[in-house]
């Protein structure tokens, strides 16, 4: 058991971690390409054919640029902040099931790096940790813009975290487990998004909160170029800036993966993939379906960013506290009632 399990885990870490990082890199290219298409211009097209080597060129530039820390900055926190912003997104990869469990000779190998029973709690904990990175970055920079950006971001992320938690709890009442593999397996007959009305409402709330948690438009008041220059990362350069950037895009990939797992049935596709006999083909097909859904949500993230204007600050707090939180609590009660009466 141990040697085989060890090898399986190492392979899973390499593959899933590689997929996440590559998706994050590719989405930085597509962010610019799609923004260019939406604004009717070209976007990156000089580095390699069609600009596909742009992420690589960016990476090299990040590595060889000089790193500047402002004179009054708190050295320790200034270095800690990018790590705190990027690491949680990478760690979340550990619990996300990328495809169906592989069943070989009666042994079930779950296709998450660590198939733990508290997967949902682990994801929530890591999501909460990401707040610290941005807050510390803003605090340690000794810059007015950064401080304001960090404050805004922390208030925003904690406000939307509540609504997100409650909508996840709604999913838990439907699935009856905190194990992410079991959550998507419970949806093979019917995806949670199609469980009308509770699943649909929970999906909407989770999607909106996911935008706010990753500091994406229309909730990017932490960065807010027009008033705060760059917000919390104004003073960051070189690799530290790259880590903030990488953290944001990895968080986007992870959020897309979790939305897919919670509401869109993970790797299942109307029972088509589930019915495949050959274990390896089933696993690969499931991975393909999962990644297609993730790519759709990544596209949605980018699409919304270049289409919808930014919220005003008080509107943001209003939406989070006065609309999403009561709505999600009411939705939870509705889900409880429907489950207790045996409708669901």
Partner 1 sequence: MSFDYLTIAVALVGGILFVYANMWILSLVRPNKPSDLKLSTYECGEEAFSSSWLRFDMRFYTVALIFVVFDLEIAFLFPWAVVYRSLGILAFVEGLIFVGILFLGLFYVWAKGDLDWVKAFAKGRIPEVLDGPPSREVRKGVFESGLSGGPERNGGGEEAGTS
Residues 81-140 that bind partner 1 (CB under 8 A): 82-83, 86-88, 90-91, 93-95, 113-117, 120-122
Confirm or reject binding of residue 162 to partner 1 (CB under 8 A).
yes
Residues of span 248-307 touching partner 1 by CB under 8 A: none
The secondary structure of residue 66, as a DSSP letter, is P
Long-range contacts from 174-179, C-beta under 8 angstroms, 24+ separation: 174/198, 174/199, 174/335, 174/339, 174/344, 177/117, 178/117, 178/118, 178/119, 178/120, 178/121, 179/115, 179/116, 179/117, 179/119
**Count of residues engaged in binding partner 1, rule: CB under 8 A:** 79
Residues of span 5-24 touching partner 1 by CB under 8 A: 5, 9, 13
Q: Which stretch binds partner 1 (CB under 8 A): 28-36, 167-175, 213-221, 275-283?
A: 167-175
Angle at 264 between CA 263 and CA 268, to 5 degrees: 135
Confirm or reject binding of residue 61 to partner 1 (CB under 8 A).
no
Confirm or reject binding of residue 39 to partner 1 (CB under 8 A).
no
Confirm or reject binding of residue 332 to partner 1 (CB under 8 A).
yes
In angstroms, give the least distance from the CB of 285 to partner 1.
25
Q: What is the DSSP string of 37-48?
A: HHTTS--S-SSS
Q: Which stretch binds partner 1 (CB under 8 A): 48-56, 160-168, 284-292, 303-311?
A: 160-168
Conformational region of residue 51, where left means phi above 0, alpha means psi within -120 to 50, and beta covers everything else: left
In angstroms, give the least distance from the CB of 316 to partner 1.
9
CA distance 202 to 257: 16
Confirm or reject binding of residue 165 to partner 1 (CB under 8 A).
yes
Query: Phi and psi of 267, rounded to 5°?
Result: -85, 0
Confirm or reject binding of residue 74 to partner 1 (CB under 8 A).
no
Confirm or reject binding of residue 142 to partner 1 (CB under 8 A).
yes
In the three-class reduction of DSSP (H, G, I as helix; E, B as strand; rest coil), residue 343 is classed as: coil
Confirm or reject binding of residue 169 to partner 1 (CB under 8 A).
yes
In angstroms, give the least distance from the CB of 215 to partner 1.
16
Confirm or reject binding of residue 339 to partner 1 (CB under 8 A).
yes
Q: Which residues pair with 107 in a beta bridge?
A: 104
């Amino acid at each position: 058991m141990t040697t085989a399990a060890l090898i399986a885990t190492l392979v899973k870490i390499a593959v899933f971690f590689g997929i996440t990082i590559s998706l994050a890199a590719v989405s930085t290219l597509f962010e610019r390409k799609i923004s260019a298409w939406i604004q009717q211009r070209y976007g990156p097209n000089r580095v390699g054919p069609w600009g596909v080597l742009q992420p690589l060129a960016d990476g090299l530039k990040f590595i060889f640029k000089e790193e500047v820390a402002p004179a009054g900055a708190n050295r320790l926190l200034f270095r800690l902040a990018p790590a705190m912003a990027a690491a949680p997104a990478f760690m979340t990869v550990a619990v996300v099931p990328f495809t169906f469990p592989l069943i070989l000779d009666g042994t079930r190998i779950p296709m998450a790096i660590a198939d733990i029973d508290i997967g949902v709690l682990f994801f929530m904990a890591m999501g909460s940790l990401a707040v610290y990175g941005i807050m510390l970055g803003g605090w340690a920079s000794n810059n007015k813009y950064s401080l304001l950006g960090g404050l805004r971001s922390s208030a925003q992320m904690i406000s939307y975290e509540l609504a997100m938690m409650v909508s996840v709890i709604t999913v838990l009442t439907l699935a009856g487990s905190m194990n992410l593999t079991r959550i998507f397996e419970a949806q093979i007959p019917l995806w949670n998004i199609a469980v009308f009305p509770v699943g649909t409402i929970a999906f909407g709330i989770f999607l909106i909160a996911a935008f706010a948690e990753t500091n994406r438009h229309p909730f990017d008041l932490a960065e807010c170029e027009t008033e705060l220059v760059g917000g919390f990362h104004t003073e960051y350069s070189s690799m530290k800036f790259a880590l903030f950037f990488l953290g944001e895009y990895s968080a986007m990939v992870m959020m897309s993966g979790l939305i897919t797992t919670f509401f869109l049935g993970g790797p299942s596709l109307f029972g088509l993939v589930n019915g495949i006999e050959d274990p390896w083909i089933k696993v690969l097909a499931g991975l393909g379906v999962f990644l297609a859904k993730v790519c759709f949500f990544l596209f949605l993230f980018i699409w919304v960013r270049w289409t919808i204007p930014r919220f005003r600050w008080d509107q943001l707090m209003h939406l989070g506290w006065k609309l999403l939180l009561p709505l999600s609590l009411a939705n939870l009660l509705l889900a409880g009632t429907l489950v207790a009466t045996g409708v669901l």
